[in-house]
Amino acid sequence: MDCCRKCFQGHANPLAAQTDETADIGNCDLCGIPNTNVWDAEVLLDQFSALLSHYETSDEGAAPSLAEALQGDWRLFAHRATPQATAFLRAVFADEPVPLPLDRPARLRRENAAATDHSNAWARFTEDLMHRSRYFPAAASNLEFFEQIVTSRARRVKPGVTFFRARVCETPDGLPPSQMSMPPAPLATAGRANPIGIPHLYLAREPETSIRECRAVQHHFVTVAEFKTTAPIRVLGLDDFSPLDPFEIENDAASRLDAARTIERLGRELQRPVRPTDNEVEYVPTQWLASLVQHLGLDGILYSSSLHPSGTNAVLFDDGLVAVDPNPKTYEITAMTLDRRLVS
């Protein structure tokens, strides 16, 4: 059975190490693409032997097949290749003993007893922090895995890079620069990344994103201030989070996957707009993760904007690494577009 590079998702391509000169030209049996560079599935024996060593047969009735588990855990196969995944695994091990039965349900082996079911890792994590143990949660026993994910996704922002913050104001006179930075600690209300009393600076990479994020509507006046980094800073990049490459993992795969999914989820949770009707206890899990990122020595987090598609936000834990422009600009919003979706 032949496979091609398009059979796999970009972040975990076991054929990446194969050079084109080693390929035949043919039709891919796994994903169906015709007339392309193909390799016999057996060339992937070492990589899949290592990957399957993290798995065990499961006798839980609802457990997925091994191929389904690989797909659910790592998003390994491209969409068109998924139906043939079990046949592909059989072809990889055509001349070798299969490490575990391919037709039995399987799951990641849990080397850490705390990780009972990684498919609901976020639900367990939030329930524990919100309702059981606010300051010493079970997740704290997994710190080494969080640390590896966070530090491997850290990005450097050089000095002189501009970010933006917008605030709605009452009059065309706008707001002075002193009111554009983060509030003093005693006045800091809770946000998705910061607990009450601990202010963070919420910025955007684009002025349009900052205006969208401050919820300005037509005829509002908005002051937009520029903030420039004054030193190199390091931020956790959640705006373009690539999943773990399962072929790079040597041990504790279930715990690493838990940690990676939790950090990836942090990026999506930070995107959710804060509403006055929110119960602030719901912010505790993201506040804990942001605090962990800060504890690991990073200066902030980059995450996508849900209010301005393709826009990126940044939360900085401290405003001492940026300088506010002394001349913020004030705009009147003259028009907004309206998109809607039927919800009831």
Instruction: Give the helix/strand (H/E) hosting 259.
Output: helix 253-271
Identity at 41, one-letter amino acid code: A
Residue closer to Zn ion (CB basis): 6 or 153: 6
Residue closer to Zn ion (CB basis): 30 or 259: 30
- Minimum separation from the CB atom of position 71 to Zn ion (A): 15
Structure tokens given for 134: 């606010």
Residue closer to Zn ion (CB basis): 28 or 260: 28
Instruction: Give the helix/strand (H/E) hosting 235.
Output: strand 233-237
Instruction: Name which of 7, 39, 12 is nearest 23 in CA terms.
Output: 39
Instruction: Answer yes or no whether residue 108 interacts with Zn ion by CB under 5 A.
Output: no
- Minimum separation from the CB atom of position 73 to Zn ion (A): 21
- Minimum separation from the CB atom of position 3 to Zn ion (A): 5
Instruction: Answer yes or no whether residue 91 interacts with Zn ion by CB under 5 A.
Output: no
Structure tokens given for 67: 């191929």
- Minimum separation from the CB atom of position 41 to Zn ion (A): 11
Cα dihedral 80/85/89/90 (nearest 10): -110
* CA gap 256, 302 in Å, rounded: 21
Residue closer to Zn ion (CB basis): 84 or 210: 84
Instruction: Answer yes or no whether residue 23 interacts with Zn ion by CB under 5 A.
Output: no
Instruction: Answer yes or no whether residue 222 interacts with Zn ion by CB under 5 A.
Output: no
Q: What CA–CA distances, in Å, run from 177 to 12, 65, 183, 185, 226?
A: 46, 59, 12, 18, 9
Residue closer to Zn ion (CB basis): 6 or 212: 6
| Residue 320 exposed, middle or buried by CB count within 10 Å (0-12, 13-18, 19+) | exposed
Instruction: Answer yes or no whether residue 12 interacts with Zn ion by CB under 5 A.
Output: no
Instruction: Answer yes or no whether residue 85 interacts with Zn ion by CB under 5 A.
Output: no
Stretch that binds Zn ion, among 21-29, 82-90, 131-139, 195-203 (CB under 5 A): 21-29
Q: What CA–CA distances, in Å, run from 220 to 142, 170, 174, 311, 334?
A: 46, 8, 11, 21, 8
Instruction: Name which of 146, 83, 76 is nearest 296 in CA terms.
Output: 146
Max intra-chain CA distance, the chain: 77
- Minimum separation from the CB atom of position 6 to Zn ion (A): 5
What part of residues 31-50 is at the interface with Zn ion (CB under 5 A)? 31
Instruction: Name which of 335, 328, 288 is nearest 136 in CA terms.
Output: 288
Stretch that binds Zn ion, among 4-12, 125-133, 261-269, 332-340 (CB under 5 A): 4-12
Stretch that binds Zn ion, among 20-28, 61-69, 239-247, 269-277 (CB under 5 A): 20-28
Question: How far from chain centre, in Å, is Cα 188?
Answer: 26
Stretch that binds Zn ion, among 29-37, 208-216, 231-239, 289-297 (CB under 5 A): 29-37
Stretch that binds Zn ion, among 5-13, 195-203, 230-238, 336-344 (CB under 5 A): 5-13
Binding mask 49-68 for Zn ion (x = CB under 5 A): --------------------
Identity at 240, one-letter amino acid code: D
Judged by CB under 5 A, the residue of 15, 23, 28, 301 near Zn ion is 28
Residue closer to Zn ion (CB basis): 5 or 261: 5
How many residues touch Zn ion under the rule CB under 5 A: the total is 6
Structure tokens given for 224: 């937009």
* CA gap 136, 292 in Å, rounded: 12
Residues that bind Zn ion (CB under 5 A): 4, 6-7, 28, 30-31
